[in-house]
Amino acid sequence: MDRHDVCSECKFFINEDSFGDGWCGLHQKDCFCENGACEGGEVKGRDFSSRTCGECDAFCECGLGGASAAKADDAACQYFDDTSLNQLRQLKK
């Protein structure tokens, strides 16, 4: 990653809340989604074509964009995150 990237673009950035606060799995510390990314980070994968926006933890935020809002059946973007949804599925088992 370089100085133009931010933490939310890194695969180590997890558990983001609605305020943009999350956890850096690389440095094992709290961080903010818009902080400048470190050199040790790795860009999230870009192959999300089999997933949809409705399966993403951030869907409600993306769905508030007015005319350009995400729809549940849109193809997911590179920021796809289903950490919370996976935890709920595991609890049901």
Q: Which residues contact 36 (CB under 8 A, 6 or more apart)?
A: 3, 5, 6, 7
Question: Class of 1-44 per CATH?
Answer: mainly beta
Confidence of residue 37 (pLDDT cuts 50, 70, 90): confident
Question: What stretch(es) of the chain map to CATH 2.20.70.100?
Answer: 1-44
Q: What's the pTM value of the predicted model, to 2 decimals?
A: 0.46
The reported pLDDT for the residue numbered 89 is 64
Give the Cα separation of 9 and 40 in Å (integer): 13
Highest mean pLDDT among 18-22, 61-65, 75-79: 18-22
